[in-house]
Amino acid sequence: MKKFWVLFALFIVPLIFYLLLTTGINNFSKLPVVTPKINDISAFSTSDKKHLTLNGKISVLCFLGDSLLERKTNALNLNEKIYKHFYQYKDFQMIALLPFGAEPKTEQLKKELGYTTNLENWHFLFGRAVDLHTFYNSLQTQTNLDSLNYSPLSFIVDKNQNLRGRTDDKASKNGLLYGYNASIVSPIHQKMVDDIKVLLAEYRKSKKDLKSAN
């Protein structure tokens, strides 16, 4: 009997612990809404004048500004840690919002990103500076775009145009995390990846519950 409990402790308990980790508490929780119903991106368009929407999509937003080649670290971090992991998920999109005039620099950046990446869901949209600031302000993050239309923060937006984040973040004032600093790897790797997984799990569970109800 003693041998059984020793074997149980050695093999079964670690297995249960592993299963709990892989399924994760996150699968049973929701990523908090930190700003409900932000503006859509109808004021912006691609270089070939196509318009996109946040509605019905899981979106990651970033603001690379006029000097985007000097800030390309943000795009490279997001590309490696976020986009490459999630771009094949249905309804996922990466959106960079940029001022008019940044198109040539954007083409350079896209070439660099495209060496190792399928960019089909990496979208670069352009608009007036005033519209960039208006849209950014709709996020209600208590931060602003700078004079070059840049922010180091990247954001998660759900299918209903709600800004998602954290309400218990120890490193943030009052625990509120609105965006993730893309200029360094750690917030992206340690927080944003996990939070997107939580949101995807939330939608999977919702879809499963809907099927069960029918």
21 has pLDDT over 90:
no
Least confident residue range of 2-11, 46-55, 75-84, 193-202: 2-11
DSSP for 146-157 reads -TTSEEEEEEEE
17/12 Cα distance (integer angstroms): 9
Per-residue confidence (pLDDT) for residue 208, from 0 to 100: 73
Structural domains in the chain? 31-213 (3.40.30.10)
> What is the average pLDDT score of the chain?
89
* Alpha-helix runs per DSSP H in 115-192: 129-138, 185-187
73/119 Cα distance (integer angstroms): 17
Residues whose CB falls within 8 Å of the CB of residue 205, separated by 6 or more in sequence, listed in order:
27
Per-residue confidence (pLDDT) for residue 54, from 0 to 100: 99
